[in-house]
Structure 1
Amino acid sequence: MFTSIITKKNITTIVILFTHLLCLAQERLKNPLDFAKEYPTSSLTRKFIPPQKILYTSGHINNSEALLAKGIGQADLSNQNMCVLKNIGDGNKTSLLLDFGRELHGGVEIVTGMWKGNKPVKVRVRFGESASEAMSDVGVKGATNDHALRDFTTLLPWLGKLQIGESGFRFVKIDLEEDSAELQLKEVRAIFTYRDIPYVGSFTSSDERLNKIWETGAYTVHLNMQEYLWDGIKRDRLVWVGDMHPEVATINSVFGYNEVVPKSLDLSKEITPLPNWMNGISTYSMWWIIIQRDWYMHNGNLTYLKEQQQYLSSLLRQIAAKIDENNKEQLDGTRFLDWPSSENEKGIHAGLQAMMVLSLNTGAELSKILGDSETASICEAAVTRLKKYVPDPNGSKQAAALMALADLMPAKKASEEVLTVGGVKDFSTFYGYYMLQALAKAGDYQTAIDDIKTYWGAMLDLGATTFWEDFNMDWLPNAARIDELVPPGKKDIHGDYGAYCYEGFRHSLSHGWASGPTAWLTEHVLGIKVIAPGCKEIQIIPHLGDLSFAEGTFPTPMGTLWVKHTKDRNGKVKTIFKAPKGVKIIH
């Protein structure tokens, strides 16, 4: 009989051996992707969109319609149903222009077939927000490669795939570059890159033009909600804090909370140590303050607001110190409201005076919420001084709007003497939002509705699927649409116009600051106004104007608010609504 003697030493050896074997097993089961866990991920979705139309071809090209199929993104050996481009050595380049149907953010994926020689083929790829921009050369009519490349030459592989580009575009032109060359295209698909988030807010009324404008403003901002909240997806692609204000108003009305907003606000704070101004512009630091209030009112996140307290208090004191002995603003940095008003120095001064009042009033409100009575008192004293001096808006609709909103000028006077003069003449896509807000404050709701349909609607009439960096009604006569090649004798609405930093094709046709009507229609036509932090109290006072009904939804942290207003034959408006639990409605 064999007797096993178990000792403490034996047990220790067994435990060590077992542990070693277990570690080896775990090592074998380790995920090969574990190395990547510490690196950033993307919250963006990519979808592959085929062209909706072949807008133009030249040279020797066969079966271009094959590119309109959905595609699968995979090359194969069958080499069937190819779009074939050939250059025959006569000095002419074969090319085609693709229309993807609407403005997109992203690049393109090109899948190729087989041709003789098995060598890569050189092509030129041009992106455009208009058909004419996609046909343009860099340096002509303002066409540029600033910030995002939209015009470049590359090699396409034989029987392979290439993904290229990251810009804002609707149109893509492909030129076969080399003489006596052949290119077989299986697929050309847009790589649509976006945040896959629901449109919680909505707006429908008896006027389809208004409905389309609301939707277009929402979509414009959605495209600019990339890693950060940008002003435009083709050019700049930067966080400009002033531009963010109408964008955030739209996000609050359509999407509700999204991390892109605090992420962008925090970035702006982190890269702007005081006494610097955000983006080098004093008003942009002031817009940061106002956005913080709007964001807090919608989401009610006091913890996040407290994280801003130290910077906010110092910034408010910095602004309050920029008043001279005559109670006039003396702001340094870039003195800027928007581009169309940038040559009206008196108007800018009036606008800056009003912006100081607006931001310091907001600062006092936030300081009280944060329990900072000392900073609140500084803000209130500064506002009292500022209101003793009322500057002349000098005919600037931008300045008059801000003065009305800051109570430096009666809203009715601003409306009658400045804002309604010439209709939408001298409107701008950015400050048009504040002009609409001032008209609402004056009770001129129908005027504002008409202005929205006239000014923003004109961009839709020209083929826009997103709203533009700027637009001037003087550009309309004899202008061609952006979704067609400019006919002889017509004006190119994209290449022939623009000013300042947006001359010609440099002009961005998807600019989030132009989305103001979306937020305005929700606030004033649907009548939804948040009056307690976190949307815990919402006031509903509709202003239908000549609409027979308006219906929509609004995102809150507790759920979705639904409201519908219907006007009877006598003009009386009946309102019904359904509010989520936790939201008190004042009606």
Structure 2
Amino acid sequence: MAMTSNPMPHATWIWYPGDFEVWLGNQFNNRRTERGAMFPPFWKQDSHWPTVEFSTTVELAEAETIHIKAEGLFNFMLDGKLQFGMPDEFLIPAGAHRLNFKVWNQSTPPALFIKGMTIHSNSSWLATYEDKIWIDENGVAHGSGIYVPAAQWNFDRMDTPPSAYRLPTLRQEPVAQESIGEGMLYDFGRETFGYVRLSGLVGVAHLYYGESREEALDKDHCETLDVVSPHQELGSKAFRYVYVETADNSHYDSLSMDYEYAPYDESHSGTFACSDKLLNKIWEVGAYTMDLTTREFFLDGIKRDRWTWSGDAIQSYLMNYYLRFDTECVKRTIRQLRGKDPVTAHINTIMDYTFYWFKSILDYYQYTGDLTFISEMYPKMCTLMDYVLERTNSDGLVEGKADDWIFVDWVDFPMHKRGVLAFEQILFYKALMTMHTCATLLHQTDPYQQLAENVICKTRQLLWNDDCQAWEHAIEEGEINHQITKFPNMFAILYDIVDDATKRNIVDSVMENNKIDPITTPYMRFYELEALCMMGKQTQVLQEIRNYWGGMLREGATSFWEKYIPFEQGTEHLAMYGRPYGKSLCHAWGASPVYLLGRYFLGIQPTQPGYATWEARPYLADLEWMEGRVPTPNGIIHIRMERHYVCIRSDEGRGRLYLGNRCFDIEPHTDYHIPITSV
């Protein structure tokens, strides 16, 4: 359900905006374990506001009884007069009244549920965490707080408060089991996520989890394990294999799992199919990877980090818009990543991840048209941008400070990340332009466009090499590092900061230049292949998808990995971070084909926010046929393309279908069958 600022005809739980996400994110991010040790995130964790006031005004033709439920202790004032006790119900007299509820809860976000005949708690109510009331010598109260619309989601029953939120589970059995050594190895057939259940356990059992068979059997080096006693609840884990050993006189009857998943609406989901079975399998595994990494929030990898990372999340959002269109999970993740003021560090402590966070809000608006969310987040965008601007150098450019992590990517070639990186300036430019767009939408003062133009002008002056037709890497202590990498150059294409002729030159001089070091993570392959698609290189990209993601499938992948280097052999594919099984074999950024195939082969994207208008530029490449569905805020766009025709239908918005140098207007709720020979 979408959060809205409009009154709803029924009662729902309400809380202070962002508090549910901050609280839930703390539960979520602290579930990571490494070999039984709790492993909290690297960055500052905020808390919900412990005391929140909720208020509304009503005008009743006749008296009305309201039913009251709060998560926490509360007091209630009617027309400014404190009502004693914490009543379950209260009779509101006829007439005009103001209702104020102050709720305190240190453990979970203060939340409120009010239900009457006409009085219902929902996002038409106001909330504040600031109590600026003071009382003079006559006992008269003065002052107020800063009020914002209360937050809500789909907690619409009095007995299902926000703190009770849990993902559903489904019991599953292993597909195979094998006695090895002193224990039993269970295989669930593919990468999965959930809670292992040992039935009839007597004594103690040792569980060793593995995304691979090798990991589960390596008791000394597997990333996750459990020691379990009868009636002990195990935490969620990622695995395909589980190896179980029992101590002397210990035994159990059977092993199963409760598969945990984020529910979705199949009828409002994206699909893709084509004449190439390998591509169909790649899309299917990509979709499964996305489903595994879509939980209460979009996380990175289900085994190791299990955290929300902004750089991973922005790709998850884009893939999600072409798969499940779960906008609530997008908003939850954006809110959770941002946390609360004051800002004391970059998001996830990573400079580039701060810049991706800004852009993710603009992407969200383009795909949903939800201006209410932009209005909610804009004050936090401003304070985060203030933090960034306070740390710029004398040229107005960003460079890493001692407490900043400059990530860019995991690279397999020498590349320092010090000083003024061209890559970071290009991301900074896009963040400033996002601020400009949002300020314009909300009719706010806008210094950001000029700042953005200054950043890109100065970066071009310092780091653009006209002879090489490429952006050079960095400036450190006044010296130019002339290294050329794909990172700033492909983002210059993606963010449209150079003209078309220069883009073509960058493709020749950098993107298709074998002398430039290759990218080996799906993370940056996402952007590399998108940049090539934008330059009309879909046939080449399709083969890259077959080679790269098909390569993981040939290595036995059942979900896509954090990193893939084709020339690695055997268990080399499992190692990372100096650990034999450190690599995540189910990583959100591995699912790139879900987005690439929907956006650049089915060719569908909104051209006005929320698909008010949209376009389809299908690209068949070397395929005989392809078809798919792309979800939109209120429906589906379906398209099928063969060599000689295109069929298309949409549920909303006015579309334009582009075939060659011709275009066709597409009205909603109408089937179109367009011969390609007529183009």
Q: What TM-score, normalized to structure 2?
A: 0.66
**Alignment correspondent of 1:553:** 629
AA partner of residue 226 (structure 2): F
**Alignment correspondent of 2:265:** 198
AA partner of residue 121 (structure 1): G
Contact 1:176 1:183 survives alignment (8 Å): yes
**Alignment correspondent of 2:438:** 366
| Superposition map of 1:292-441 within 5 A | 292-319=361-388, 324=393, 328-332=397-401, 333-340=404-411, 343-345=414-416, 349-382=421-454, 383-389=456-462, 390=464, 391-393=471-473, 394-407=483-496, 410-422=502-514, 425-441=518-534
TM superposition shift of 1:298: 1.1
AA partner of residue 190 (structure 1): M
**Alignment correspondent of 1:531:** 607
AA partner of residue 392 (structure 1): E
Aligned equivalents of 1:427, 1:400: Cα separation in 2: 16
Specify whether residues 440 and 301 from structure 1 end up closer, same or farther in structure 2 by C-alpha distance, changes over 3 A only. same
Contact 1:387 1:408 survives alignment (8 Å): no
Structure with larger RCO (C-alpha < 8 A, sep 6+): 1
AA partner of residue 627 (structure 2): E
| 2:225 corresponds to 1:151 | yes
TM superposition shift of 1:219: 1.6
Secondary structure of the structure 2 residue equivalent to 1:231: coil
Secondary structure of the structure 1 residue equivalent to 2:165: coil
Specify whether residues 250 and 340 from structure 1 end up closer, same or farther in structure 2 by C-alpha distance, changes over 3 A only. same
AA partner of residue 58 (structure 1): I
Specify whether residues 302 and 206 from structure 1 end up closer, same or farther in structure 2 by C-alpha distance, changes over 3 A only. same
**Alignment correspondent of 2:566:** 473
**Alignment correspondent of 1:15:** none
Residue-by-residue CA offset, 1:21-42 (whole Å, 9 max, x unaligned): xx9xxxxxxxxxx996556222
**Alignment correspondent of 1:104:** 192
Secondary structure of the structure 1 residue equivalent to 2:312: helix
**Alignment correspondent of 1:8:** none
TM superposition shift of 1:436: 0.7
| Match 1:463 to one of 548, 553, 556 | 556
Contact 2:430 2:452 survives alignment (8 Å): no
Specify whether residues 219 and 271 from structure 1 end up closer, same or farther in structure 2 by C-alpha distance, changes over 3 A only. farther
AA partner of residue 346 (structure 2): W
**Alignment correspondent of 1:183:** 251
Which has the higher Rg, Structure 1 or Structure 2? 1
Secondary structure of the structure 2 residue equivalent to 1:190: strand
AA partner of residue 388 (structure 1): Q
- Consecutive unaligned residues in structure 1, runs of 5 or more: 1-22, 24-33, 60-92, 114-119, 145-149, 480-490, 569-573
Aligned equivalents of 2:341, 2:259: Cα separation in 1: 32
| 2:592 corresponds to 1:516 | yes
Aligned equivalents of 2:232, 2:387: Cα separation in 1: 51
| 2:213 corresponds to 1:131 | yes
| Superposition map of 1:571-582 within 5 A | 574-582=645-653
> Which region of structure 1 is more displaced relative to structure 2, 424-433 or 378-387?
378-387
Residue-by-residue CA offset, 1:135-170 (whole Å, 9 max, x unaligned): 1124x3xx33xxxxx212223x4xxx7653411111
TM superposition shift of 1:414: 3.2
Aligned equivalents of 2:485, 2:412: Cα separation in 1: 7
Q: Which has the higher helix share?
A: 1
Contact 2:290 2:591 survives alignment (8 Å): yes
TM superposition shift of 1:328: 4.9
Specify whether residues 269 and 165 from structure 1 end up closer, same or farther in structure 2 by C-alpha distance, changes over 3 A only. closer
Aligned equivalents of 1:104, 1:258: Cα separation in 2: 24
**Alignment correspondent of 1:170:** 240
Aligned equivalents of 1:101, 1:470: Cα separation in 2: 22
Aligned equivalents of 1:367, 1:198: Cα separation in 2: 34
* Pairs aligned (count): 477
Contact 1:43 1:195 survives alignment (8 Å): no
Contact 1:466 1:509 survives alignment (8 Å): yes
Aligned equivalents of 2:232, 2:390: Cα separation in 1: 56
Specify whether residues 400 and 582 from structure 1 end up closer, same or farther in structure 2 by C-alpha distance, changes over 3 A only. closer
